[in-house]
Amino acid sequence: MTKLKVADFYYGSVLSMLFNQGIMNPALIEGNDDRQVYDFTVNSGNEYRLFLKYRADCQNIKRLNYNSWAFNISGDYQELKDYIDEGKNVVLALICSSGDLSNSELALLNKEQILQIIDAGKQWFTVSRKKGEKSYRIPIDGSRVTALRVKCNSFQELFG
């Protein structure tokens, strides 16, 4: 009997979304429970390197209507920087689960946003979103006010 890992559900959901959007030719470059890396080409001919990471549960926040997930890229830090330096069109896909898979969210960071995190020396960071906000926030200097903002619905903008 083949057993499925929790990671398979998270990574598989993103792959399913890519297939359903008509994105073709994904190729797994590297994968384990902590991350998966894919190369793929969209219908327009643009090529991407998709770097997937997930958090199975949001952090315990005492405020209602507020979700937060902590991501660690310390083991991926140099690799992400190298991909960008090589001219790869890198997208960091952060799968944010709330425990209920149907309420999971996907934060997509383009290479400029990834570089902001790298340039700030952040090897771990928090992604947060208040209910009703149209952007995720990633505090670079510890403040939500000056945090990096990542649009919630950036899929078409990045891959369209």
The domain locations on the chain are 6-159
Question: Has residue 2 got a pLDDT over 60?
Answer: no
**Could you give the CA distance from residue 55 to residue 34 in angstroms, rounded to a whole number?**
9
The CATH code of the domain at 6-159 is: 3.40.1350.10
Higher pLDDT, 113 or 2: 113
Kindly report, residue by residue over 26-41, the tens digit of the pLDDT: 788 888 888 899 998 8
Pairing of strands 90-96, 47-55: parallel
**Could you give the CA distance from residue 85 to residue 81 in angstroms, rounded to a whole number?**
6
Higher pLDDT, 75 or 156: 75
| Strands of 135-138's sheet in order across | 66-72, 124-130, 135-138, 148-151
Q: What is the DSSP letter of 90?
A: E
Residue 130's pLDDT is: 86
Kindly report, residue by residue over 97-152, the tens digit of the pLDDT: 877 777 788 999 999 999 999 999 999 999 998 888 899 999 998 777 889 999 99
